[in-house]
Amino acid sequence: MTKKTHSNCPVYYALDFIGDKWSLIILRDIMLEEKKFFLDFIGSHEGIATNILTNRLANLESDGFINKIRDTADKKRFVYSPTKKGLDILPVIIAMITWSSKYIAKGSPASNFMAMVNDDPVKFEKDICAKFSNQTE
Amino acid sequence: MTKKTHSNCPVYYALDFIGDKWSLIILRDIMLEEKKFFLDFIGSHEGIATNILTNRLANLESDGFINKIRDTADKKRFVYSPTKKGLDILPVIIAMITWSSKYIAKGSPASNFMAMVNDDPVKFEKDICAKFSNQTE
DNA sequence: CATGTTTACTTGCTTTTTGCAAGGAAAATA
DNA sequence: TATTTTCCTTGCAAAAAGCAAGTAAACATG
């Protein structure tokens, strides 16, 4: 996802930014799992490597999906949060959850999100956006 | 996207299948661009290599997203078509189109799909599904 | 029916990306 | 000052993707 082709196809355009697995996983962690710090993302059970995480966080920031600000309480670390542009990716994530809840193996341990999304996807999105309503951009 | 991790996270579960760019581009071509044949996909301006296309078509078929049947009219070639499971990915694609139409540069040559999706996304999805209503699975 | 074309796929090679392990730097802590 | 925490970098190996050429079966043509 280094070079953006800026295709005139809107599907490909979106994939230029979130067409790799890790970028969407990070956005999921930020928006759904309320992760904020570098080590939070490292703690995801998917196991992203530190160099890849650094690269993806930088891309997501320069592409305007997330903000990166130094934590005032603990200046060693940075707080990562979604921008409006990033929050607007939520419908894509929700659509994936809807699809998965239909096709995931019955025996699989169900995620909380599946029930919530199936129950009321609009409310699900609104509730998450409300958590980040203090975002300026 | 070779090994499926079968994570209990529904986002990651979906990304196991469509988390690489090419798989979604192929599904876009099949469902939105009404492409059917190997050479149709090669003709996409994104430029997928033949070995990658062969691999992705095989994966999509074995994962149950598409059907592959020999063309009765011209037995040299195969007809690729979406299954119900594949058509259920449409909301993900539509969510991407919605996102892109909001953030794509104003000067960019607009796709037909952007206007149609923004006008009536539910109708957009129904119309596409109707085209493939003869699909048995 | 011999020859050439179309369509799908394969193979070998190079380049790019990812994964992994170790280390480094700034801020906090003791 | 020494140690820990947090984020990031670097070097190297493994995996994936990209590219060009070639193969084989179905078909078309003379």
A83 in a domain, yes or no?
A: yes
Q: Would you say residue B3 has pLDDT above 60?
A: no
Instruction: Kindly determine whether the C-beta of residue A15 is less than 7 Å away from any atom of nucleic acid strand D.
Output: no
Residues of B from 15 to 54 whose C-beta is within 7 A of strand C: which are they? 37-39, 50-51, 54
Q: Is the pLDDT of residue B136 over 70?
A: no
Q: List, for residues A93-111, the tens digit of each pLDDT value.
A: 999 999 999 999 877 777 8
d(C-alpha A61, C-alpha A27), whole Å = 11
Within A 28-87, residues with CB less than 7 Å from strand D? 37-40, 50-51, 54, 57, 68, 71, 74, 76-78
CA distances from B28 to A33, B74, B103, B107 (A): 30, 24, 20, 23
SS3 A33: coil
Percent of chain A past pLDDT 70, that is, above it, reads: 93
Residue A86 has pLDDT above 60, yes or no: yes
Q: Give the count of domains, chain A.
A: 1
B136 domain-assigned: no
B78 touches strand C (CB under 7 A): yes
Report yes or no on A20 lying in a domain.
yes
Q: What is the pLDDT of residues A21-32, one digit of tens each?
A: 899 999 999 999
Candidates B1, B28, B27; CA nearest to B12 is B1
- For position B27, which CATH number holds? 1.10.10.10
Average predicted confidence (pLDDT) for chain B: 91
Please give the pLDDT value at position A5.
62
Using beta carbons and an 8 Å cutoff, which residues of B are at the interface with A?
5-15, 19-21, 24-25, 28, 32, 45-46, 85, 88-89, 91-105, 108-111, 113-114
Which residues neighbour A6 within 8 Å (Cβ) at sequence distance 6 or greater?
A13, A16, B105, B108
> Is A115 within a domain?
yes
Compute, in degrees rounded to 10, the torsion defined by CA atoms A113, A119, A122, A123: -80
**How many CA atoms lie within 13 Å of B131's alpha carbon, on the beta-carbon side?**
15
Nearest residue in A to B91, CA atom: A95
Enclosing domain of residue A113? 10-131
Answer whether residue A2 is part of any domain: no
User: Does A18 score more than 70 pLDDT?
Assistant: yes
Q: How far apart are CA B1 and CA A61, in angstroms?
A: 25
Is residue B137 a part of any domain in this protein?
A: no
At residue A112, the pLDDT reads 86
Is the per-residue pLDDT at A1 higher than 60?
Answer: no
**Is A28 within a domain?**
yes
In a domain, A137, yes or no: no
Strand D neighbours among A 92-131, CB < 7 A: none
All residues of chain A having their beta carbon less than 8 Å from the beta carbon of residue B45 are: 7
